[in-house]
Homo-oligomer: A and B are copies of this chain.
Amino acid sequence: MERGGPIVRVGWIGLGIMGRPMAENLRRASFPVVAYNRSATRLEAFVASGGRAAGSPREVAGLSDVVVTMVSDTADVEEVVFGANGAAAGIHAGSVVVDMSTISPRATREFARRLRERDVDYLDAPVSGGESGAIAATLSIMVGGEAAVFERCRPLFDALGKRVTHVGSVGSGQSTKLVNQVAVLGNLLATCEAIRLGAEAGLDLRKVIEAVGAGAGASWQLTNLGPKIIERDFAPGFPVRLARKDLRLILETAEDFCLPLPGVALVQQLFSAVAAIGWGDGGTQALIEVFDRLATKPQ
């Protein structure tokens, strides 16, 4: 493959809730995609719908101009890229690894450095918008890395999201995503406390969401998750277990900076309770259940 030439063949690693519809969107945009997934069931489903599979990340990399990873956590990215049959073992010089998972910014810079030694470029490109955004190709994508490499991969991002922002050098995408999650989860806590207080005061909560959502208390969390919170509909848009992983990454990153984030720390503690009462796979709005359990009076 010519260095700096157009991205054609896409290797895709990770066909979970987010990765599967994203890979399908690339196929729909006429990119030839070859995929790998750790669990065979999900890989077979991809093949059954007409997708092409490979037996390992290494094999995926050998067939691709760019390798996209969309897995859960830092250790998963390390495994699929640098593990025994990892992508790095099969990758061509001059190609690109694009990590769209949400992982550690510090580890991201280290991964980029290790790939640079093999003459492979790296972009961190985590996304926001949840499963619905992945399906509709309306994700917000925050990209860190060299501008030329970003431009080269832009057609791929354009097929996956609607707001694609190049935020800076390698690691900046992950840092921006963590900043995003501070806002998301902090606003969710405020939303749950506001709604529970309104419920205790006997207010019409739909009217409250409308009134508060029109002013200085407005937030995406209130408008979009508020109605689900009122109905105690905990179907996952963004699951608690991934929110807990993001909270851990935020606090680890802040600790590196000696930056105290007491609000995030509180949210993290409360999400331990959400998981403890059985909502690890539920949506983050299940946080209201903690307040319900703490404040429900005996009959």
Contacts and interface: CB of A to CB of B under 8 A. Distances in A.
Interface of A: 105, 128-130, 140, 142, 163, 165, 167-168, 171-172, 175-176, 178-187, 189-191, 193-198, 200-204, 207-208, 210-212, 214-222, 224, 238, 250, 253-254, 257-264, 266-267, 270, 291, 294-295, 297
Contact of A221 (B202, B203, B216): B216
Contact of A186 (B193, B208, B211, B297): B193
A218 B219 contact: yes
A130 B216 contact: yes
Nearest to A190: B186
A111 to B, nearest CB: 17
Contacts of A208: 167, 176, 179
Given A260-B294, A263-B189, A198 B176 contact: yes
A82 to B, nearest CB: 24
Given A210-B165, A263-B266, A194 B220 contact: no
Copies in the assembly, this chain: 2
A243 to B, nearest CB: 11
B194 A105 contact: no
A201 to B, nearest CB: 4
A211 B258 contact: no
Contact of A261 (B181, B193, B259, B264): B193
A189 B267 CA distance: 12
A197 B222 CA distance: 23
Contacts of A264: 193
A266 B208 CA distance: 23
Contacts of A214: 140, 163
Given A172-B203, A187-B190, A266-B266, 7 more contacts: A128-B215, A140-B214, A168-B202, A178-B197, A184-B216, A197-B257, A200-B254
Nearest to A198: B179
B257 A295 contact: yes
B183 A186 contact: no
A165 B211 contact: yes
A298 to B, nearest CB: 11
A167 B206 CA distance: 10
6 contacts: A180-B217, A182-B190, A189-B190, A193-B261, A200-B254, A262-B270
Given A182-B194, A215-B140, A263-B193, A201 B253 contact: yes
Contacts of A165: 207, 210-211
Contacts of A129: 215-216
A125 to B, nearest CB: 12
Contact of A194 (B142, B183, B218): B183
A225 to B, nearest CB: 9
Contacts of A176: 198, 203, 207-208, 211-212
